[in-house]
A = this chain, B = another copy of it.
């Protein structure tokens, strides 16, 4: 007997049959004795169509009107799911963001949740009613509907779980949990039973997109236990289904490395022969920040003469903009030329166990050296070591590291 928030994304509610399936799953959880609130996304494709209409009418459309239009997607799903639940004999009602209310700031189109009034649905859940809540949206103090930005339904679900003091927030997706690495590259990848918030954040930011980053940050801040599991597991879900994203204190047997992530969305830029004097890094990265280019890894090579080479990575989508910014800043910076390499991959090993274990980085470097893989850039954080390598070695590196850290399934 627990209070649980269940979240279903767009593909899980893509048509009436899938909505019926979701209803059956929710009904099974409710009949298992749990107090249930459900957060739903729009039927898949619907949001894109609504966004497309707004853009077609005006490329620079009013974000407040955009929100009013786009928020209808979840409104439809919530009502339909409530009807499907009632048809199964489960007492249920839909709640739109403004009805609870879910209060957000006024940043229309990318609003942040400020508070959720959960008292009424807690009372109803205690009386056996399932609350079906529209994800992705709320109401701002201007009394208008806001949306949280794409993928915001994960965040809605976590925020609702926090407001309801739910025992867990179950996020249903098309994968059955978080893996030690991409199973398409490493067939021996293992599903993790538990993963720490910080690990999940690092894995997400390096390309293992299972949960929206903001939802994980929120879960970490609010100490909401999040479970990622597949819409195709049996219902009600068994206790060991999926992967639980929790505080690291809840992970008794910590692995030193939880997972290996990779990203091919990076590009490497080397600014060559920069005068080696104070303020040069500020000049380069200040210019990029002013154009909203996110810089990731940075290394500076000291050279013999009075110049230095500055190497860093940006998202590949930002490469052209980066070149333009640096090109026009050349007179101020005074570098000789730029070397560009978009054919790179970032490989990261992530694990909270690293904090208390030495030798994680050296294992990585030795493993890659054994495979004759050259490391171009290194960056480290408390729970992550990342290296930049030539893209063609991606799979080889991931497989070798997965084995080296003892992650292969038996």
Binding site for B on A (CB under 8 A): 16, 19-20, 50, 53-54, 56-58, 61-62, 64-66, 68-69, 71-72, 75-76, 78-80, 82-84, 86-87, 93-94, 96, 98-99, 143-144
Q: Is the CB of A84 within 8 A of B57?
A: yes
Q: Is the CB of A87 within 8 A of B58?
A: yes
The residue of chain B having its C-beta at the shortest distance from the C-beta of A61 within the complex is B83
Q: Is the CB of B61 within 8 A of A86?
A: yes
Whether A94 touches B78, Cβ cut-off 8 Å, given contacts A57-B19, A87-B58, is no
For A143, what are the chain B residues with a Cβ–Cβ distance below 8 Å? 99
Q: Is the CB of B69 within 8 A of A76?
A: yes
Distance in Å: Cβ of A42 to nearest Cβ of chain B: 10
Q: Is the CB of A79 within 8 A of B66?
A: yes
Which of B69, B79, B99 interacts with A79 by CB under 8 Å? Answer: B69
The residue of chain B having its C-beta at the shortest distance from the C-beta of A58 within the complex is B87
| 22 A–B contacts from the bound complex (CB under 8 Å) | A16-B53, A16-B57, A20-B57, A53-B76, A54-B79, A57-B84, A57-B87, A58-B86, A62-B82, A62-B83, A62-B93, A64-B93, A65-B80, A65-B82, A65-B83, A65-B94, A68-B75, A68-B82, A68-B94, A71-B75, A72-B75, A99-B144
The residue of chain B having its C-beta at the shortest distance from the C-beta of A69 within the complex is B79
Q: Is the CB of B94 within 8 A of A79?
A: no
Distance in Å: Cβ of A27 to nearest Cβ of chain B: 14
For A96, what are the chain B residues with a Cβ–Cβ distance below 8 Å? 68
Distance in Å: Cβ of A45 to nearest Cβ of chain B: 14
- Highest count of chain B CB atoms <10 Å: which of A78, A83, A84: A83
- Highest count of chain B CB atoms <10 Å: which of A61, A80, A94: A80
For A65, what are the chain B residues with a Cβ–Cβ distance below 8 Å? 79-80, 82-83, 86, 93-94
* Distance, CA A94 to CA B64, complexed state (A): 9
For A61, what are the chain B residues with a Cβ–Cβ distance below 8 Å? 83, 86-87
Q: Is the CB of A62 within 8 A of B86?
A: yes
Distance in Å: Cβ of A15 to nearest Cβ of chain B: 9
Distance in Å: Cβ of A71 to nearest Cβ of chain B: 8
Q: Is the CB of A69 within 8 A of B64?
A: no
Distance in Å: Cβ of A266 to nearest Cβ of chain B: 37
Query: 10 shortest A-B CB distances, which residue pairs?
Result: A69-B79, A72-B72, A68-B79, A58-B87, A65-B79, A61-B83, A65-B82, A57-B83, A57-B84, A65-B83
For A84, what are the chain B residues with a Cβ–Cβ distance below 8 Å? 57-58
* Distance, CA A135 to CA B202, complexed state (A): 48
Which of B57, B58, B76, B99 interacts with A72 by CB under 8 Å? Answer: B76
